[in-house]
A = this chain, B = another copy of it.
Amino acid sequence: MNPRFRLSLEPLTAEAFAPFGEVIGIEASAERFAINAGTTERLHALARVAHDGGQAVISIGIAQSRRLPFALELIERHPLGSQAFVPLDGRPYIVVVASTPADRPRAFLAANAEGVNFRAGTWHHPLIALADHSRFLIIDREGTGDNCEEVRCTEPWWIDAAS
């Protein structure tokens, strides 16, 4: 695989991911307040759900693992709604996003059980799970209209564990 097209894995931080959406985790900067008669601390509105028309639904995805090194196949986006993935068993996975299909993608390693919320219209690769049967909660849009654009990668981008 051509080193020129190798993507380095970046840590998944709220700041680095901000152009693409939100990180759903224990963020120091979150607005916090007590609920449930003071017995629960709420980290409020870590992400916002967009669903132009349609309705927000909660689903579960059970992902097969992908082997590294991994060659990117395609990227897609959902123009009509946000899409959140939150790991339910804390296993690591890789999130790949791009500003446009022509730009160099960025690859983030979610190593601390954080979730991500892709802003509506954010180009992303399907999640790259690193452990079999990884379960993710998915919060996204159900409704009419064409909410999925998909393009094949034009360059042979790839990622590896040791990057």
- Show the binding face of A for B, using Cβ within 8 Å: 24-26, 30, 35-37, 39-49, 51, 55-64, 66, 73-74, 84, 86, 88-90, 113, 115, 117, 126-127, 129, 135-139, 142
Contact = CB atoms under 8 A, between A and B. Distances in A.
A126 B49 contact: no
Given A58-B24, A58-B84, A86-B88, A64 B45 contact: no
Contacts of A73: 37
A33 to B, nearest CB: 10
Contact of A59 (B42, B51, B55, B56): B42
Number of copies: 2
Contact of A49 (B89, B137, B139): B139
Q: Could you tell me the dominant secondary structure of chain A's interface residues?
A: strand
Contact of A63 (B39, B49, B57, B136): B39
Given A35-B126, A44-B59, 13 more contacts: A30-B60, A36-B126, A43-B61, A45-B59, A47-B58, A48-B56, A48-B57, A49-B57, A58-B115, A86-B137, A88-B90, A88-B113, A139-B139
Contact of A36 (B30, B35, B127): B127
Contact of A40 (B48, B58, B126): B126
A73 B42 CA distance: 20
Nearest to A117: B58
Contacts of A137: 24, 86, 115, 137
